[in-house]
């Protein structure tokens, strides 16, 4: 008898949910980023609590937000051009040192009951440092993560961010109950932990040298031009931007808790956790799942699901139905965030990655603030239910518009197979 064997069936490649986390460099990066976000949440709680107690005015909280939003609008795009010229890790490290220093100033301000203007100044300096560091930080990940693992890394990024966003405020509350200055010093210390994790990374973090010579203004505009001519990035950014701008109901949660759902502060706290719970659950699910076969369709359906959840939430008078819709909103938003961030990371050439990350940061970051303004002003004119429901309907309309305007997104397959114009 012959021992020859015929062709053996090909075994499907097994999906490894921990593929990105098995990379030592990525573990250092993502755990450092996790503690950084945790520290940001701790300081945010402390600043809000202390400012309100010092001034007795909600207007002071608006100034706090302004001091952190202005640097985002003023400095992020120039910072993107800078990190396409110089060593990105050094930029992030310097920005982290300045951020830690501003938090130390806030700690001493709190301890000595210093003037309010000093806190505003420290927040502006810290916000400026963060705005300069963000594009460079976003450009580091492609240096340490192989391209096939980008979607897996993006899923873990999203999951850990949401965990930090959920646990940070609670930790901040515990710390300020013991000592308000300790909250600021905690953020400074965690910023140094993040910096140490970056120092441990091995590799070349200098960008690829740009061909030819461009003026500084041309460099800034080139990032915008790249986004507008790269249809997949433009469509994904537009879809996410419109969903946040139109569909964000988080700004009206206090109104819904008090006047519609009739719950106290504890109920409001539960509602606030809903989107984060959904986002963590979906990010973990995606990390354990095989990559989308049709990522564009998945993104369109996820934003449509987000819009439907917003409408149901707007009409609901049941606490648990409202909470469930917030969970759905967080889960569906997580899908679109992961797809968008993967596209930005994967399609931008290294020589332009900082500027493209800067455009992404400005577009999405500003839409959060504008979305809150849209929801609040419309609620003031027409009521909260009208504001939320119209926002959900607008989100659905934006899905139809993007699907019609950019068929490239509908036709997109696996994220790992998408190629940029530079390839």
Q: For residue 269, what is the domain's CATH number?
A: 1.20.1250.20
Cβ contacts of 395 within 8 Å, gap of 6 or more: 242, 243, 246, 247, 303, 304, 306, 307, 310
Which among 375, 369, 372 has a CA at the least distance from the CA of 127? 369
Q: Are residues 122 and 228 located together in one domain of the fold?
A: no
Mean pLDDT of 305-333: 92
Give residue 1's pLDDT.
Answer: 38
pLDDT at 214: 52
Does 211 have pLDDT greater than 60? no
Q: Rounded to two decimals, what is the model's pTM?
A: 0.73
Asked if residue 259 has pLDDT above 90, the reply is no
Q: Work out the average pLDDT over 229-256.
A: 81
Does position 2 have pLDDT exceeding 50, yes or no?
A: no
Query: Do residues 141 and 199 share a domain?
Result: yes
- Report if residue 86 sits inside a domain: yes
Whether residues 185 and 292 share a domain: the answer is no
- Co-location of 138 and 234 in the same domain: no
Q: Do 147 and 261 fall within a single domain?
A: no
Provide the domain limits for residue 329: 220-417
Shared-domain flag, residues 229 and 190: no
pLDDT band at 57 (very low <50, low <70, confident <90, very high): low
Q: Which residue has the higher pLDDT, 294 or 207?
A: 294
Are residues 190 and 159 part of one domain? Answer: yes
Same domain, 151 and 176: yes
Please compute Rg for the chain using Cα positions. 22
pLDDT value at residue 190? 94
Determine how many CB atoms are found less than 10 A away from the CB of residue 423: 9
- pLDDT at position 69 is 75
- For the chain, the domain total comes to 2
Is 366 within the bounds of a domain? yes
């Amino acid at each position: 008898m012959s021992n020859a064997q015929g062709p053996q069936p090909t075994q499907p490649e097994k999906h490894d949910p921990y593929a990105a986390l098995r990379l030592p460099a990525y573990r250092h990066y993502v755990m450092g980023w996790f503690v950084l976000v945790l520290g940001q949440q701790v300081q945010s709680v402390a600043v809000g609590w202390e400012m309100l107690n010092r001034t007795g005015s909600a207007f002071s909280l608006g100034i706090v937000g302004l001091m952190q939003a202005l640097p985002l609008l003023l400095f992020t795009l120039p910072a993107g051009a800078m990190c396409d010229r110089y060593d990105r890790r050094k930029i992030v490290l310097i920005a982290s040192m300045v951020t830690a220093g501003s938090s130390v100033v806030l700690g001493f301000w709190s301890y000595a009951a210093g003037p309010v203007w000093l806190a505003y100044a420290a927040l502006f300096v810290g916000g400026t440092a963060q705005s300069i560091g963000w594009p460079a930080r976003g450009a580091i990940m492609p240096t340490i993560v192989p391209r096939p693992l980008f979607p897996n890394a993006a899923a873990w990024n999203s999951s850990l961010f949401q965990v930090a966003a959920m646990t940070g405020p609670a930790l901040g509350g515990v710390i300020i109950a013991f000592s308000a200055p300790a909250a600021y010093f905690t953020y400074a210390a965690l910023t140094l932990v993040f910096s140490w994790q970056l120092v441990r990374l091995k590799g070349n973090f200098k960008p690829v040298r740009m061909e030819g010579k461009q003026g500084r203004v041309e460099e800034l505009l080139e990032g915008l031009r790249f986004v507008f001519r790269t249809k997949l990035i433009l469509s994904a950014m537009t879809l996410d931007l419109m969903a946040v701008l139109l569909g964000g109901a988080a700004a009206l949660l206090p109104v819904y808790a008090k006047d519609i759902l009739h719950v106290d502060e504890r109920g409001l706290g539960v509602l606030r956790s809903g989107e984060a719970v959904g986002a963590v659950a979906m990010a973990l699910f995606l990390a354990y799942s095989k990559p989308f076969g049709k990522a564009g369709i998945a993104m369109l359906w996820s934003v449509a699901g987000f819009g439907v959840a917003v409408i149901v939430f707007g009409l609901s008078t049941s606490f648990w139905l409202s909470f469930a819709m917030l969970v759905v909103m967080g889960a569906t938003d997580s899908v679109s965030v992961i797809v968008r961030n993967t596209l930005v990371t994967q399609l931008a050439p290294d020589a332009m990655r900082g500027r493209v990350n800067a455009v992404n940061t400005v577009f999405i970051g500003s839409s959060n603030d504008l979305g809150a303004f849209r929801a609040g002003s419309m609620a003031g004119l027409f009521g909260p239910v009208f504001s939320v429901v119209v926002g959900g309907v607008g989100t659905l309309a934006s899905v139809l518009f993007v699907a019609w305007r950019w068929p490239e997104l509908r036709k997109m397959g696996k994220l790992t197979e998408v190629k940029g114009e530079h390839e």
